Amino acid sequence: MKTNFHAFALGLAGLVLPSLSSSAQAPATRTCASMEALAAHMAADPALAQRMRDIDNQALQYAAQSKGTAQRTMASVTIPVVVHVLYSTAAQNISDAQIASQITVLNEDYQKLNADVSKTPSAFAGLAANVNIAFTLAKRDPTGKATTGIERKSTTITSWGSDDRMKSTATGGLNAWNSSQYLNIWVCNLGEGLLGYAQFPGGGAASTDGVVILTNAFGRNGSAQAPFNQGRTATHEVGHWLNLRHIWGDASCGNDGVSDTPTQQAPNSGCPSFPKRSCGNTTSGDMFMNYMDYTDDRCMYMFSTGQSTRMNALFATGGARASLKTSLGGTPPGGPGPGGPTPGGPDDTQAPTTAVTGPSSASASFTATFTDADNVGVTNRFYQPLEWRTDEWRANRGNGFYNDNFGNAALHPDYVTGLDDWQGTWAETAAGTLRQSNTTATNTGLSTFLSQTAGGNAYVYNFAAKVNSTSGTRRFGLHLMASSNTLRERGNSYLVWFSLDQQTVSIIETVDNVLNARVSAPAVLTSGTFSDYKVLYDTSTGTIQVFQNNNLVASWTDTTPLTSGTYISLRTATADVEFDDLKVYKSRGASATITVGSANTNDVRTSGTPGAKIKSLVKDAANNWSAPGNLDVNITIAAARLATATPPSTAGATSVYPNPVMATDGQFTVGYSMAAAGEVTIELLDGQGTRLARMVRRQAAGTHQTTVPAQALAKQGLYFVKLTTPGGKSQLIQVLKN
């Protein structure tokens, strides 16, 4: 659906709401009072509408700059939950087990681990998203004391409404814990025929922020009653708390603020048959299995990618719920075990933190300063400067950094597929992932240039991967420090290799294009689920550490370590595999100089608002990883221009001038040299590798110039000139349009 719905939200304050009959039992059809509660809060607080507009604008900006990031498996945040149980009968005083079952459901549904996601119709299967959010019962209360995350209160109030009385001790309920550090869930005997309601981000006071659920619709055991006994009421209401609207937009053919959910006329109830069409959505029909519809628990089992992105925006820098990322509510006061953990030891689970500071804008090189903290101390520090290229964040591969979120329609031209029997079938998907779909190829490859050097450098190679194949030999991995992108085993390299059929992870060294297995360790690998993988390689010590979902699963030290590499290469064997968010960080100190300018050697070579993003990642001695720290910087570059108009003299070499190309330039020139007569092809590609223009010339041996109209570069950003000479040899030259 379209994403501008501010007018609709503001109009809610004037709605006449229907009265609902009181009932102590779960209603026959789903009912939610979140929008009614929002209307009441809007009427009481004139500033609320602007706050929510600001939050929605931040979500739109995050979505525009985060293409392809929504499918990562590692949770972007683990949210501490406190459950406030209010009861007037013994049956309403639900058990700890029933509460635990609800936390389990939230983790399954928000990480796409629910078994019934397999029921998603093929029309929507590519949109079903892992939201990357985890939940845990609080282990530390706001005063710093240990807690179970559950508090209970006996009350004489037999029925509660949507007026927030259960959220205050003054009105017979229980006060909220600090809502910037906890998700508050009140479980009580809701009347008015309600299953629950939630407060939107910015949608009310901090003292009322949270979710309310009917006792008989909470969790999936104990007092939970069909058809709402699978815990999906909380999944639905937490979706509101994370800024999602009802999928039909609370209006006939309305707007839910998300672009990949079909427009639908009204809420669906029960369990409709697919397809159920309305509002002209004849291609796919209603997405009635979405958690934000009104169907029964057993018939809802997915969030869309757009919904995932909208929720994750809350935890980005400046997001309305970003403070939850640093909450200590989920960490015991003394840590696990009697007397607490040994700091930095194997039972130390406290993650380090990292933050980046620097200028808000720059037109020249600047210093990024990093603030790292841990209960004992940070042992490994990494950073990654990114530059905004038209519609995505990329990095300078020549400086040892890499970033691709695979949010484009086509592979970038800097990738090289394997040769002959190890080529594979590689393509980017509509869901924003990279997929290798050939299940018979025993060795596929997709390589890209990346300068990896010694000099005390360590690198983190980070990616997400999911194996779609469910049987047979299923393997995938990554070559790092590779010397070749054409040799079958990548010349000299290290290969980190995951085997689902053997449930192992291996570290393999390739020496002179021969595989040499060095270590193998057990691993829990599951088809159909994305996992996060980090490979840390220290060129000084030769140590390789492999992490799955931030848990160390394998390590090995090479006594004669590789000190340079020219490529990284993804690899699969007889498996349909999807990859996402391929990133490479490099080691750093307490600060780093970020070089800015149009020269190819700079970290940031393009202007933008923002034009640079500096990311930080750290690890402690107990192998706990931080969440990434980020700094956005607006960049303005006064473009340096290539002055010479003389083509190169070296046979086969290529140059483009002026470069960058300015808006005032009528044309630019491609200069090249040919050792022998023949046909030369010049292609102009955009930043995603889409061909914009093609020229074929038959030339004699010697140096040549071909002019290209500057109008071919329609807007500012990064382009490529691809020159193919006789014999099929191709060269790729970057061109900037300012």
The two structure tokens encoding residue 496: 């980190």
Q: What pLDDT is recorded for position 417?
A: 82
Strand duo 77-87 + 150-154: pairing: parallel
Mean pLDDT is lowest, of 369-378, 423-432, 661-670, for 661-670
Q: What pLDDT is recorded for position 291?
A: 96
Mean pLDDT of 298-326: 91
Sequence ranges of the chain with CATH classification 2.60.120.560: 351-635
Instruction: Give 399's contacts (C-beta < 8 A, 6+ positions apart).
Output: 385, 451, 586, 601, 603
Helix (H) or strand (E) holding 379: strand 378-388
Contact between 645 and 421 (Cβ < 8 Å)? no
* Rounded CA separation 151/409 (Å): 50
Mean pLDDT of 214-227: 93
Mean pLDDT is lowest, of 276-285, 333-342, 428-437, 514-523, for 333-342
688: confidence class by pLDDT, cuts 50, 70, 90? low
**Displacement of CA 294 from its chain's centroid (Å):** 27
The two structure tokens encoding residue 643: 């002055």
Catalytic residue among 36, 192, 237, 387: 237
Homologous superfamily assigned to 10-246+304-321: Collagenase (Catalytic Domain) (3.40.390.10)
User: Which of 153-167, 372-386, 683-697 has the highest mean predicted lDDT (pLDDT)?
Assistant: 153-167
Q: Which CATH number fits the domain 351-635, given the four candidates 3.40.50.2300, 2.40.110.10, 2.40.160.100, 2.60.120.560?
A: 2.60.120.560
**Mean pLDDT estimate for the chain:** 84
% of the chain residues with pLDDT over 70: 87
Mean pLDDT of 625-651: 67
Distances (CA, A) of 161 to 132, 170, 198, 704, 730: 32, 16, 12, 80, 70
Query: What is the number of residues in the chain?
Result: 738
Mean pLDDT is lowest, of 344-348, 637-641, 646-650, for 646-650
Sequence ranges of the chain with CATH classification 2.60.40.4070: 654-737
Strand ranges inside 474-607, DSSP E: 475-482, 493-499, 504-511, 514-522, 531-538, 543-548, 551-557, 564-573, 577-587, 591-594
Q: What pLDDT is recorded for position 728?
A: 64
Q: What pLDDT is recorded for position 339?
A: 33
Dihedral of alpha carbons 278, 123, 76, 31, sign:
positive
Q: Is the pLDDT of residue 213 over 50?
A: yes
CATH architecture of the domain 654-737 equals Sandwich (2.60)
pLDDT, tens digit (0-9, with 9 covering 90-100), for 548-559: 999 898 888 898
Buried b (16+ CB within 10 A) or exposed e, 717-734: bbbbbbbebbeeeeeeee
Sequence ranges of the chain with CATH classification 3.40.390.10: 10-246+304-321
Side-chain-side CA neighbours of 16 within 13 Å: the count stands at 0
Higher pLDDT, residue 356 or 678: 356
Q: Which amino acid is at 76?
A: S
Dihedral of alpha carbons 334, 339, 345, 346, sign:
negative
Contact between 459 and 586 (Cβ < 8 Å)? yes
Q: Is the pLDDT of residue 9 over 50?
A: no
Mean pLDDT of 681-691: 73
- The verdict on whether 387 is a catalytic residue reads no
Contact between 151 and 81 (Cβ < 8 Å)? no
* Rounded CA separation 131/574 (Å): 28
**β-sheet bridge partners, residue 577:** 436, 467
Q: Is the pLDDT of residue 336 over 70?
A: no
pLDDT, tens digit (0-9, with 9 covering 90-100), for 417-465: 876 556 789 999 988 899 999 999 888 999 999 999 987 789 999 999 9
Q: What pLDDT is recorded for position 341?
A: 41
> Residue 692, SS3?
strand
pLDDT, tens digit (0-9, with 9 covering 90-100), for 65-81: 766 444 443 346 889 99
687: confidence class by pLDDT, cuts 50, 70, 90? low
* Rounded CA separation 646/668 (Å): 13
Q: What pLDDT is recorded for position 731?
A: 74
Q: What pLDDT is recorded for position 2?
A: 42
Q: Is the pLDDT of residue 346 over 60?
A: no
663: confidence class by pLDDT, cuts 50, 70, 90? low
**β-sheet bridge partners, residue 593:** 367
Measured N-to-C along each axis, helices 232-241 and 96-110 cross at an angle, to the nearest 10 degrees, of 60
Mean pLDDT of 83-87: 97
Q: What pLDDT is recorded for position 35?
A: 79
Mean pLDDT of 210-216: 96
Contact between 575 and 500 (Cβ < 8 Å)? yes
* Rounded CA separation 277/275 (Å): 6
Mean pLDDT of 616-644: 81
